[in-house]
């Protein structure tokens, strides 16, 4: 993965057809997705349970772009190896998920993956001030994590603060939650370059009829740019 700040749309398969994960990944990629975002939830750190490393391994052959794995789980360290083995390009852990986030990020990089850190809406940008040189991505949650389809929480001030903190370092700012053509321009203007979108991408389409996926991706991209 070479770094650039161009806008990237990362559909979240949380909003896709669970019986068709591999085909859904291929479908959104064929329609212009830049990354595939995989939301892993444990029913403990967040309310819902989704899927684990075996699912990531199963869909990896169907993903040609970047597999962006977002771990909404606690504890997290014991599971990093499994997701790295499953083919994750990026593994993101929550700063709130344990007392040793620095060690977690070191572990992720030692496994050959890009390291991401996620911030819940109630967590300030200052929580990652001492981690900037240890991450490749900062994920700003614009909903409270745990399930899809929630209303966007305005975190543009936090994004602007992070953008200043990052400076010219090769660190992505990712937005996760409530991204659509209305909210995308706000976070893009504030400095985000990766936009995770679930229902806003998958709405109206299917594996058999993927054209709406492309229309949705293009609408978000056009609004943000």
The three-state secondary structure class of 208 is coil
In the set 42, 89, 176, 193, the catalytic residue is: 176
> Running DSSP on this structure, what letter comes out for residue 12?
B
Reduce the secondary structure of 117-157 to three states and give it as a string: EEECCCCCHHHHCCCHHHCCEEEEECCCCCCCCCCCCCCHH
- The C-alpha atoms of residue 118 and residue 95 are separated, in whole angstroms, by 6
Q: Give the pair of three-digit tokens for residue 225.
A: 């740019």
- The C-alpha atoms of residue 7 and residue 176 are separated, in whole angstroms, by 14
The residues with which 40 forms a beta bridge, in sequence order, are 71
For residues 209 and 23, the answer to whether their CB atoms sit within 8 Å is no
In the set 34, 39, 68, 89, the catalytic residue is: 39
Q: Give the pair of three-digit tokens for residue 96.
A: 């709130």
Active site residue 176: yes
Active site residue 17: no
Phi, psi of 182 (to 5 degrees): -80, -40
Cis peptide upstream of residue 75 (ω within 30 degrees of 0): yes
- The C-alpha atoms of residue 24 and residue 13 are separated, in whole angstroms, by 8
Catalytic residues: 39, 176
């Amino acid at each position: 993965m070479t770094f650039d700040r161009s806008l990237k749309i990362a559909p979240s398969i949380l909003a896709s057809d669970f019986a068709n994960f591999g085909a859904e990944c291929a479908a959104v990629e064929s329609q212009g997705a830049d990354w595939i975002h995989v939301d892993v939830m444990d029913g403990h750190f967040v309310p819902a349970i989704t899927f684990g490393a075996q699912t990531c391994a199963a869909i990896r052959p169907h993903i040609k772009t970047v597999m962006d794995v977002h771990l909404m789980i606690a504890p997290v360290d014991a599971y990093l190896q499994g997701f790295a083995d499953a083919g994750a390009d990026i593994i993101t852990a929550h700063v709130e998920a344990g007392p040793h986030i620095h060690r977690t990020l070191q572990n992720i990089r030692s496994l050959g993956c890009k390291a991401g850190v996620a911030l819940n809406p109630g967590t300030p940008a200052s929580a990652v001030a001492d981690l900037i040189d240890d991450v490749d991505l900062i994920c700003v949650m614009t909903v409270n994590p745990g399930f899809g389809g929630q209303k966007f929480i305005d975190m543009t001030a936090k994004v602007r603060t992070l953008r200043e903190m990052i400076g010219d370092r090769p660190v992505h700012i990712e937005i996760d939650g409530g991204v659509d053509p209305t909210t995308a321009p706000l976070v893009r203007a504030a400095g985000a370059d990766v936009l995770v979108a679930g229902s806003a991408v998958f709405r109206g389409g299917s594996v058999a009829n993927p054209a709406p996926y492309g229309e949705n991706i293009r609408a978000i991209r056009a609004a943000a740019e």
